Amino acid sequence: MAQSTRSGEAKKAGLRVVHVVVAGDIGGAERLLVDLASRPEESGAEHVVALFTPNRALAAMFERAGLTIRDRGPVLENPVAYLWRSLGPSDVAWLAGVLREERADVAHLHTFASHVLGTRAARRAGVPTLRTEHHVQYFVDPSTKSFTLWSLARVDRSVAISQYVADWVRRAVPAVAAKQRVVLNGVDADYFSPRPRSAEAAARPFTFVVVCRLEPWKGIDLVVEAAAMASGFDVEIVGDGSEKPRLARMIQEKGLGDRVRVLGYLADPRSSIADADAFVSASRDEPLGLAVLEALAMERPVVGFAGGGIPEIVQDGRTGWLVHERTAELLSRTMADAASDRERARRFGIAGRAFVDGHCRIESMCRGYRAVYEELAQAKAPREP
C-alpha cells in the first residue's frame, strides 16, 4: 500500500501517533491533520495515517504533505459499508495490526466513521485513544448518536476544537468532562500571510469572499439573499458541494450574475482571500471556523453569525462584525455596514492578524496536542476482552 517517506525530523520525535481517517471528503479535519502531522518537532511525535477512503484525491493530499500512509485501498462509503467496517472483524483486525506494526503510542481518531472502528482496534492492540471532536452534529443525528457515544465512553481523551464544542459535548455527556481537553484549531500564519490586493481587485466594489464546502448547514443561500437585499458590495464564493447547483439558480433568478460569482473549489484560496475586502461566514453553529482563521491571518475582517465557536475568534467591533440574529435581513444590513468604510475594514483586518498571532497559530495547536499525547503515552489502554 501507499507509503510516503518519513522525514529526518520525524525520526527524531519521541512518540508515534497513528491517525485513523475514514472519510470521502477533504475538509477541516483532514487539513488539521496535515498541519499537525507535518510538524513532528512541534507536536513531539512521528505521525502515520491509517486511511480508509474512496477518494484518491484525499490520499494524494496526504502524500503531497509527506505523511506516511497505511492505505486500506479503495473502500466503499455508504451506511452498509460503515456498519461492516465498524462492527465486522476484518477492518478492525487490519487496523489493530497497523497499530501494532507501527508501535503506536496513541491512536488519534478524527472523523465520525473512525470512532467505532478506531476505538475497537485500539483496545484490541492495547493503545491509548484520543478523539478530536471537530463537530457536534454526530451527537444530534439519531443515525450516528449511539455509535459516537459508545466510542466516547471508551476513548482515553477527547479534544474539542473550541470551547463551544467542549461545552456542548459536556452538556450531552457530563461524564466526559474528566477526560476532555480544549485545543483551538490553529492556522499556518506563515502560509496564510497578508498580501496586497491585485490592481484589478482594488478597482472593483467592496468584495466579500466565502470559502467553504457548499453544504446546507454552511448557509451560503443566506449570503446570496443578503446580496439581493442591498447594493454596494460583491460576493465571491469559493468551494464545491451539493448546494452548488441551487446557489447558481438563486444567483440567476435574483439577477445577481454581475455581483455574486461562484468560483468553485480552489486548492489554494489565498489569492481569492487577498483580493477580497472581507470574509463572510454564514454557517449554522460553526464549531470554530478554520477558513475564518485563515482570513483573519491574511488581515481580512470577518462578518459572521454569533453562534457556535465564531465569537471565540471574531471580536465584534474589533476584528469583524457579529450578526446576532440568523436572518438574511440582518446579515444584509451588517454586510452593507461593513462595506461602507474600507478604512475601518482595513483596521479590523490588522487586528485580526494580531489575534491569530496571539492565540491561533498552528504552533500553539501543535503544543496543545503534544501535551495530550505525552499525557496519554504514560497510560495503557485496556485490551478488548
Check whether residue 203 and residue 337 sit in a common domain. yes
- Residue 179 is part of which domain span? 8-186+363-377
Is the separation of the CB atoms in 22 and 84 below 8 Å?
A: no
pLDDT of 144 reads 93
Of the candidates 46, 25, 61, the residue with the CA atom closest to the CA atom of residue 135: 25
In a domain, 178, yes or no: yes
Tell me the Ramachandran region of residue 269: left when phi exceeds 0, alpha when psi lies from -120 to 50, beta otherwise.
alpha
Of the candidates 269, 261, 309, the residue with the CA atom closest to the CA atom of residue 286: 309
Of the candidates 164, 211, 173, 219, the residue with the CA atom closest to the CA atom of residue 331: 219
* Residue ranges in 185-301 assigned as alpha helix (H): 199-202, 220-229, 244-253, 270-275, 290-297
Check whether residue 208 and residue 329 sit in a common domain. yes
Separation CA 151–CA 267 (nearest Å): 33
In a domain, 1, yes or no: no
pLDDT of 384 reads 53
Check whether residue 57 and residue 103 sit in a common domain. yes
pLDDT of 4 reads 41
Check whether residue 160 and residue 213 sit in a common domain. no
pLDDT of 6 reads 42
In a domain, 92, yes or no: yes
pLDDT of 298 reads 98
Please identify which residue in the block is written with the cell numbers 463551544. 164
DSSP letter assigned to residue 384:
P
Check whether residue 283 and residue 206 sit in a common domain. yes
CB within 8 A of 141, min separation 6: which ones?
Answer: none
- Confidence band (pLDDT; 50, 70, 90) for 382? low
**Distances in Å between the alpha carbon of 165 and those of 113, 145, 222, 264?**
19, 15, 24, 29
Q: Is the pLDDT of residue 106 over 90?
A: yes
| DSSP codes, 277-334 | SEEEE--SS-SS-HHHHHHHHTT--EEEES-TTHHHH--BTTTEEEESS--HHHHHHH
pLDDT of 9 reads 42
Q: Is the pLDDT of residue 11 over 50?
A: no
Of 127-136, 157-166, 376-385, the least confident: 376-385
Check whether residue 228 and residue 311 sit in a common domain. yes
Check whether residue 56 and residue 83 sit in a common domain. yes
Check whether residue 145 and residue 241 sit in a common domain. no
Check whether residue 76 and residue 204 sit in a common domain. no
pLDDT of 190 reads 95
In a domain, 131, yes or no: yes
Cell readout for 306 is 454569533
Q: Say which CATH number the domain at 125 has.
A: 3.40.50.2000
Is the separation of the CB atoms in 155 and 123 below 8 Å?
A: no
Backbone angles phi, psi at 48, to 5 degrees: -130, 140
Backbone angles phi, psi at 133, to 5 degrees: -90, 100
In a domain, 384, yes or no: no
Check whether residue 159 and residue 223 sit in a common domain. no
Is the separation of the CB atoms in 349 and 299 below 8 Å?
A: yes
Decide: helix, strand or coil at residue 385: coil
Count of domains in the chain?
2
> What does the angle CA 226 – CA 227 – CA 229 come to, to the nearest 5 degrees?
65
In a domain, 13, yes or no: yes
Is pTM beyond 0.75? Reply is: yes
Decide: helix, strand or coil at residue 1: coil
Cell readout for 170 is 459536556
Of 84-98, 130-144, 295-309, 312-326, the least confident: 130-144
Q: Is the pLDDT of residue 74 over 90?
A: no
pLDDT of 14 reads 81
Hey, CA dihedral for 102, 106, 109, 114, is it positive or negative? Answer: positive
In a domain, 383, yes or no: no
In a domain, 192, yes or no: no
Check whether residue 131 and residue 261 sit in a common domain. no
Check whether residue 292 and residue 340 sit in a common domain. yes
pLDDT in tens, 17-40: 999 999 888 878 898 899 999 999
